Amino acid sequence: MNAIEVNELTKIYKGGRSKIEVKALNNFSLSISKGEIFGLLGPNGAGKTTLIKTLLGIVFPTTGSATILGSDISNYKIKNRIGFLPENHRFPNYLTAEETLKYFSQLGGNSTKNIDKRIDELLLLVRMSEWKKMKVSKYSKGMMQRLGLAQAMMNNPELIFLDEPTDGVDPIGRKEIRDILIDLKNNGTTIFLNSHLLSEVELVSDRVAIMNSGKLLKVGRVEDLTTTKEAYIIETANPIDSDFVNAKYMNTPSANTSFKNINVKLESSTKLSVNVKDNLELNFVIDNLRKNGINIKTISIQKNSLEELFVSLITDERGGTK
Amino acid sequence: MKNIYTLSLLTFREALSKKIFLFFFSVSTFVIVVFALLFAFISPESFTDGFVSSTTTSFDNSIANGIKLFIIYPLYAGGLFISIFSVSGFIPSLLEKGNIDLILSKPVSRDQVILGKFFGGIAMVFINIFYAIFFLWLLIGLKFNVWDASFLLSAFTITLAFASLYSVIILLGIITRSSMLPMVISYLTFFIFSPILSSRDTIFAFVDNKIVSGIFSLLYYLVPQTSDLSSINTDLAVGNYISSALPLFTSTAYIILIIGLSIFIFRKKDY
């Protein structure tokens, strides 16, 4: 059983008098396994928050279905096994951190037994113990995020949705939040992470999905998505001049016309990026370099950052103009 | 039930934090203190301007009833005025982005959210009204030895009148997300529409038109019957026989209907 199963979910927002319809989710399907950290990426207005809100019953789907922890999303009782940190959340500003956690814990169906102990544990974990008795109206954005995270973890959930969890948090705080997420994952908690900070998602997520205009563009393991197929970086001990590369591999690829897919680009004087069709072509390039007295130091698979992939996908989706 | 209780408690805390409860409580305390001083320094005779009754008991009773009448209407009007003002912001603050998301992400049904807000507001108003009425009843009892418990029942009729207005505030709050519009409509209902519709029989005597009569009769049941409840309240305060308890039942049915409608709309809304 998957932690989340989304089947062709569509959500259309209808504008009141303007009659404008916005398709926030467009036949969106997705499966998330138990115990993984799943990162959802997309530009503003892609439908990320709508997806989370639909899964949590805050927004109703127009068509399609979804299950959370094996239960239909319309079953509100399943939410006692779920934690949620919304983007720009607002806690009642007249409550202290302790009271906030107590209140949301009670709403979360927790018994009052051992509640104080759990509050102390979580406030210590998010480094908020010192401000336990302070009213949340006096908190900074970062402190609110930390308290929000503690709130999401209050009822020991099996699944946590985090919408921009590190928003307003300093770099050290972000690292601490990342560590908390990894600890949670190690304890079997499934984490659904929605963030604009691609590098952060890349650091903690097992799998990521990229969406735009309510559609799923790509989903997969971070490693798989960032690895470019049959693209290599060759580092050499001695410098290569550009004329040599152009003459040997670009303009006149080879005597053998079957190697016409080879694309070699000089990244620096000692670094080549090579795009080939298969190992045969890669070996052809290596042989040619060696034949011409070039000493090869390393050959590695070329990787794109998640950001590069994201920008490329979104740009293609929007019609190709960067 | 636990969720409704938790949400009611938070509504109560909201009222406390916004100093609404404190203001309400201060006004109630002020009224109690004024009457306490009045009773302490003025003799019963001065209330009747020298009129002496045939028996002491009926003399005290009539003074006590006069005082109760003097108290109850301002308490009813003033109490409802402050109450409407106090609760008009409850629904818009509940529906604020970032707050409603959190609440709805918990294992709480939407029905429970509305009922929690409703009962929280009712509790806040009832406590204040009962506090004022109980101490005024105690003062009157101590001063005149008149212990008519029906005066205490006024707290329930005032709360019922408030509940009928509060149900409309909740419904309009869910639809408009505004605090101002529900507040204005409640004041108009309480001070203008309900008194006019309550005296519709008098209007029918002058307007002999079936359509107009039909419209007035329809509106009478669409608008909270706070004026009729006020009459019952006055009767209860002085221990009179209630000529018609119908407004108590129609108001209760009205509250159930409006809260039901609010829940129905709230269940279908995206946040």
Burial class from Cβ neighbours inside 10 Å (0-12, 13-18, 19+) for residue B72 reads buried
Q: Which residues of A touch B103 (CB under 8 A)?
A: 107
Q: Which residues of A touch B2 (CB under 8 A)?
A: 106
Complex ipTM value = 0.79
Q: Which residues of A touch B108 (CB under 8 A)?
A: 76, 79, 107
- Stretches in chain B below the pLDDT threshold 50: none
Output the pLDDT for position A1: 81
d(CA B205, CA A148): 64
Output the pLDDT for position B68: 82
Q: Do A58 and B270 touch (CB under 8 A)?
A: yes
Query: Distances in Å between the alpha carbon of B83 and those of A52, A116, A211, B94, B103?
Result: 38, 35, 48, 18, 25
A181 within 8 A of A194, measured Cβ to Cβ: no
Per-residue DSSP letters for A173-194? HHHHHHHHHHHHHHTT-EEEEE
Pairing of strands A71-72, A63-68: antiparallel
Instruction: Give me the total of CB pairs closer than 8 Å, taking one residue from chain A and one from chain B.
Output: 82
CATH superfamily of A226-303: Alpha-L RNA-binding motif (3.30.70.1560)
Asked if the C-beta of A115 comes within 8 angstroms of chain B's C-beta atoms, the answer is no
Output the pLDDT for position A246: 66
d(CA B189, CA B161): 11
Nearest to A108 among B17, B101, B106 (CB): B106
Task: Provide the shortest C-alpha distance from residue B189 to chain A (in Å).
Answer: 28
Pairing of strands A227-236, A271-275: antiparallel
Q: Do B102 and A90 touch (CB under 8 A)?
A: yes
d(CA B19, CA B23): 6
Q: Which residues of A touch B98 (CB under 8 A)?
A: 86-90
Asked if the C-beta of A22 comes within 8 angstroms of chain B's C-beta atoms, the answer is no
Structure tokens at A82: 């779920």
Q: Which residues of B189-227 are buried (b: 16+ CB within 10 A; e: fewer)?
A: bbeebbeebbebeeeeeeeeeeeeeeebeeebeebbbbb
Nearest to A103 among B6, B97, B109 (CB): B6
Asked if the C-beta of A78 comes within 8 angstroms of chain B's C-beta atoms, the answer is yes
d(CA B262, CA B164): 13
Asked if the C-beta of B1 comes within 8 angstroms of chain A's C-beta atoms, the answer is no
d(CA B44, CA B60): 8
Task: Provide the shortest C-alpha distance from residue B99 to chain A (in Å).
Answer: 5
Asked if the C-beta of B105 comes within 8 angstroms of chain A's C-beta atoms, the answer is yes
B155 within 8 A of B163, measured Cβ to Cβ: no
Best of B8, B105, B265 to mutate (most A CBs within 10 Å, chain A): B105
Q: Do B7 and A82 touch (CB under 8 A)?
A: no
What length is written for chain B? 271
Q: Which residues of B touch A106 (CB under 8 A)?
A: 2, 6
Q: Which CATH number fits domain A4-89+150-213: 3.90.226.10, 2.60.450.10, 3.40.50.300, 3.40.50.2000?
A: 3.40.50.300
Structure tokens at A112: 């009052």
B134 sits in which H/E element? helix B110-144
What pTM did the predictor assign? 0.82
Structure confidence by residue, pLDDT tens digits, B66-105 = 888 888 888 888 888 988 988 898 999 999 998 999 999 9
Nearest to A92 among B10, B108, B268 (CB): B10
d(CA A276, CA A263): 6
A235 within 8 A of A297, measured Cβ to Cβ: yes
Q: Which residues of A touch B100 (CB under 8 A)?
A: 58
What length is written for chain A? 322
Domain extent listing, chain A: 4-89+150-213, 226-303
Q: Do B106 and A77 touch (CB under 8 A)?
A: no
Q: What is the DSSP letter of A319?
A: T
Please state the φ and ψ torsions of residue B151, each to the nearest 5 degrees: -60, -35
Best of A107, A167, A194 to mutate (most B CBs within 10 Å, chain B): A107
Task: Provide the shortest C-alpha distance from residue A52 to chain B (in Å).
Answer: 10
Nearest to B99 among A53, A56, A90 (CB): A90
Give the number of C-alpha atoms closer than 13 A to the C-alpha of residue A248, restricted to the C-beta side: 19
Nearest to B107 among A80, A86, A87 (CB): A80
d(CA B134, CA B115): 27
Q: Which residues of A touch B13 (CB under 8 A)?
A: 92, 94-95
Per-residue pLDDT of chain A (322 residues; tens, 9 = 90+): 899 999 999 999 987 776 788 999 999 999 999 999 999 999 888 999 999 999 999 999 999 999 999 999 999 999 999 999 998 899 998 899 999 999 998 887 777 678 889 999 999 999 899 999 999 999 988 899 999 999 999 989 999 999 988 888 888 888 888 899 999 999 999 999 998 788 888 889 999 999 999 999 989 998 888 777 778 899 999 888 777 676 555 444 454 555 667 888 888 889 988 888 888 888 888 888 888 888 999 999 887 778 888 888 888 877 755 4
Q: Edge-to-edge strands of the sheet including A82-85?
A: A82-85, A159-163, A190-194, A37-41, A207-212, A215-221
**Nearest C-alpha in A relative to B94:** A92
Q: A97-107 and A115-125 are packed helices; what angle lies between their axes, rounded to 10 degrees? A: 120
Q: Which residues of A touch B92 (CB under 8 A)?
A: none
Q: Do B105 and A103 touch (CB under 8 A)?
A: no
Asked if the C-beta of A165 comes within 8 angstroms of chain B's C-beta atoms, the answer is no
Q: Do B107 and A109 touch (CB under 8 A)?
A: yes
Q: Do A88 and B98 touch (CB under 8 A)?
A: yes
